[in-house]
């Protein structure tokens, strides 16, 4: 069949070229000139771009591997994300999920969009007391001390400021425990954060430049401090609210790791406490394999209750007892 088709094609009449065209073709061939036929540009792009992209990826990967090899495990060497940051292979939105110290110093990864600076809203001055208890097997409740949380106007170096202070007694609150945070009243710029656990004072001052502002990155993990109570007052909540934050976690005196905390509103609940009844948002707070519940007043943003599992059969709680 193919032979018959070929024969029939050869038998098709072919128009003769015009005499002047025939002479031009013969003359160009005599001089050795060749005609470059056009190609399909779309086909060229389909073949060339993937090859170029693959070559670029391989080159970048080899360059990064070489940098890691010669760095010899140096902690100051750039991580993969910082090395490729801003390129088409690792855009800056991906870099926002990287944390200082590298993956080897990170405990878990954030589940939700990262929380950062809180909206500038007025913090309500006042003083609130909390009662801490431990309930075992749902039957036996033991007293665990008290907490006092306050927000008060003050002045620091001529700057109008707010002193946000938590003090406490009892278990998980060593004698002399205080946690205080000083922020400017106008912008919530951080001025000083001080902590005292027993006989071990600590803290830091924040320079004016570059300025740092109160944010979820300053939240504490063990729920004994001041910052998270203020943060909930400053953060509007709703049924769909969620977010994550990376915070430092001191495991040894010379080792600071980074812990991802995931927060999510899981519902609402009406609670009755010694200080009164409140309509609250229930916020799930997950860190490592633990999950705490924080009850936040819908009207004031005040944290009125905290429930934290302690093992399989006990719950540690703080409830608002007075103001």
Rounded Cα–Cα distance for residues 33 and 41 (Å): 24
Rounded Cα–Cα distance for residues 279 and 269 (Å): 6
Cβ-based neighbour number of residue 269 at 10 Å: 13
> Omega into 210 within 30° of 0, i.e. cis?
yes
Q: What is the reported pLDDT for 110?
A: 85
Quick one: tokens of 247? 């915070």
Q: Which class would CATH give 126-322?
A: mainly beta
Rounded Cα–Cα distance for residues 213 and 229 (Å): 16
Distances (CA, A) of 11 to 4, 7, 15, 63, 68: 11, 6, 12, 62, 69
Profile the chain (323 residues) by mean pLDDT over runs of 10 residues: 66 72 73 61 58 67 55 42 45 44 57 82 87 86 87 92 86 70 91 76 81 84 68 92 83 70 94 95 87 92 90 87 88
Domain boundaries, the chain: 41-98, 126-322
Q: What is the reported pLDDT for 184?
A: 93
Rounded Cα–Cα distance for residues 177 and 204 (Å): 17
Distances (CA, A) of 76 to 79, 82, 100, 102, 247: 9, 11, 11, 10, 20
Give 4-56 pLDDT, tens digit per residue: 766 776 777 777 767 777 777 777 767 666 666 555 555 555 556 666 666 66
Rounded Cα–Cα distance for residues 246 and 217 (Å): 6
Helix, strand, coil % over all residues of the chain, rounded to 5: 25, 40, 35
Q: What is the reported pLDDT for 90?
A: 44
């Amino acid at each position: 069949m193919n032979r018959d088709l070929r024969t029939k094609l050869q038998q098709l009449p072919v128009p003769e070229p015009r005499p002047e065209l025939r002479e031009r073709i013969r003359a160009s061939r005599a001089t050795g000139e060749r005609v470059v036929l056009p190609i399909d540009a779309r086909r060229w792009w389909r073949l060339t771009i993937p090859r170029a992209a693959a070559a670029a990826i391989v080159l970048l990967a080899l360059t990064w591997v070489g940098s890691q090899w010669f760095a010899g495990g140096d902690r100051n060497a750039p991580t993969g994300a910082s090395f490729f940051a801003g390129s088409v292979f690792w855009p800056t939105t991906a870099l926002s999920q990287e944390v200082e110290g590298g993956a080897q110093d990170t405990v878990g990864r954030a589940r939700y969009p990262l929380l950062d600076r809180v909206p500038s809203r007025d913090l309500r001055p006042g003083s609130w007391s909390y009662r801490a208890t431990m309930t075992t097997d749902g039957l036996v409740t033991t007293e665990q001390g008290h907490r006092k949380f306050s927000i008060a106007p003050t002045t620091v170096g001529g700057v109008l400021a707010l002193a946000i202070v938590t003090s406490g007694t009892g278990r998980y609150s060593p004698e002399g425990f205080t946690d205080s945070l000083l922020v400017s009243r106008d912008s919530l710029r951080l001025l000083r954060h001080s902590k005292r656990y027993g006989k071990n004072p600590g803290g830091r001052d924040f320079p004016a430049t570059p300025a740092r502002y109160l944010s979820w990155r300053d939240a504490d993990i063990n729920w004994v401090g001041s910052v998270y109570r203020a943060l909930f007052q400053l953060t509007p909540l709703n049924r769909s609210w969620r977010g994550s934050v990376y915070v430092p976690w001191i495991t040894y005196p010379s080792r600071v790791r980074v812990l991802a905390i995931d927060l999510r509103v899981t519902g609402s609940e009406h609670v009755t406490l010694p200080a009164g009844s409140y309509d609250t948002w229930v916020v799930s707070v997950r860190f490592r394999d633990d999950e705490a519940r924080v009850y936040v007043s819908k009207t004031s943003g005040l944290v009125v209750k905290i429930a934290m599992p302690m093992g399989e059969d006990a719950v540690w709680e703080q409830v608002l007892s007075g103001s």
